[in-house]
């Protein structure tokens, strides 16, 4: 098994890619701290892992809250004795609202969950990983919205660009001068619940996304992203550091 003995935190583990990553990692021998704000969806995920013979604990935890972040790292150490992999996966969308119509409230919420939360979780994880003999791995689930201008609204795209910068800074600092690798995944369209959160798509924002073929993008499955995350978490990627792995079925290749 590729993650035997490793302790992993997966944020946003109750659904979509986080759920697929938590299940895949547990099946590969990891001890999983699965966190999410949605207890109703999180409980069955943890139950399904343990019923399959895996090791996992569920924690209701908001990535926008410092106390919750401290608690999730504490849980990994107290329960399993180490923190080997942090998967910053939880993220939210912004109804494609472009900058001219972006409220302070929406901007702050998207940046808090998609960028500030992952930064704070990485900061807490690094403090632990630095002291461990085998260091650790940080994986940030970004988006092709972190590489291109109109795969979301102004706040979403800015948050994901920021997340890639955070990834590279950690990689170039702690990967070269320490034992912590950091990489990012940039998924394209993936079949998850996140689309249902686009309740009031902004007209201009939608037009901009439509103009680059937003509606015709290939759609991947969460398990296909979990495979990429597994590679980045495992020792198979020992020389991969600071990489952004696009997983979009070729949407942005053309």
Ligand X SMILES: NC(=O)c1ccc[n+]([C@@H]2O[C@H](COP(=O)([O-])OP(=O)(O)OC[C@H]3O[C@@H](n4cnc5c(N)ncnc54)[C@H](O)[C@@H]3O)[C@@H](O)[C@H]2O)c1
Question: Rounded to whole angstroms, what are the CA distances from 122 to 11, 87, 101, 117?
Answer: 12, 9, 31, 8
The question of whether 156 is a catalytic residue gets the answer: yes
Choose the catalytic residue: 96, 156, 174, 251. Answer: 156
CB of 3 to ligand X, least distance (A): 20
Q: How far apart are the first and last CA of the chain?
A: 36
Nearer to ligand X, 3 or 90 (CB): 90
Token pair for 211: 């103009």
SS3 breakdown of the chain: % helix, strand, coil, rounded to 5?
A: 50, 15, 35
Place of tokens 């079925």: 249
| Of residues 12 and 136, the one with the C-beta less far from ligand X | 12
Among candidate residues 62, 10, 66, 69, the one with its CA nearest the CA of residue 37:
62
Our CB check for ligand X shows the closer of 171 and 226 to be: 226
* 31-36 vs 7-11, strand pairing mode: parallel
- Name which position in 18, 54, 154, 175 contacts ligand X (CB under 6 A): 18
Nearer to ligand X, 43 or 101 (CB): 43
Of residues 134-163, which lie at the interface with ligand X (CB under 6 A)? 141, 143
Question: In this structure, are residues 136 and 84 in contact, taking their beta carbons and an 8 Å threshold?
Answer: yes
Instruction: Report the residue from 187, 205, 214, 242 that binds ligand X according to the rule CB under 6 A.
Output: 187
Contact window for ligand X (CB under 6 A) among 33-41, 46-54, 167-175, 207-215: 33-41
- Residues near ligand X (CB under 6 A): 11-12, 14-18, 36-38, 41, 62-64, 89-92, 113, 141, 143, 187, 189-190, 192-194
């Amino acid at each position: 098994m590729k993650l035997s003995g490793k302790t992993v935190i997966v944020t946003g583990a109750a659904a979509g890619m986080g759920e697929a990553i938590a299940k895949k990692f547990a099946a590969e021998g990891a001890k999983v701290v699965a966190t999410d704000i949605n207890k109703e969806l999180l409980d069955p995920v943890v139950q399904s892992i343990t019923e399959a013979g895996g090791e996992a604990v569920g924690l209701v935890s908001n990535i926008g809250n410092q106390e919750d972040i401290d608690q999730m790292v504490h849980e990994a150490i107290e329960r399993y004795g180490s923190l080997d992999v942090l998967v910053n996966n939880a993220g939210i969308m912004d109804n494609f609202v472009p900058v001219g119509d972006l409220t302070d409230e929406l901007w702050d919420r998207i940046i808090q969950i998609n960028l500030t939360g992952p930064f704070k979780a990485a900061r807490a994880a690094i403090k632990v990983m630095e002291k461990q003999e085998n260091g650790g791995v940080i994986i940030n689930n970004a988006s092709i919205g972190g590489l291109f201008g109109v795969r979301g609204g102004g706040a979403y795209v800015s948050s994901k660009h920021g997340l890639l910068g955070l990834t590279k800074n950690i990689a170039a600092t702690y990967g070269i001068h320490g034992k912590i690798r950091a990489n990012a995944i940039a998924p394209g369209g993936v079949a998850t619940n996140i689309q249902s959160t686009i309740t009031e798509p902004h007209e201009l924002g939608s037009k901009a996304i439509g103009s680059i073929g937003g509606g015709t993008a290939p759609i991947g499955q969460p398990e296909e992203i979990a495979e990429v995350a597994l590679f980045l978490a495992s020792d198979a990627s020992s020389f991969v550091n600071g990489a952004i792995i696009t997983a979009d079925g070729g949407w942005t290749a053309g």
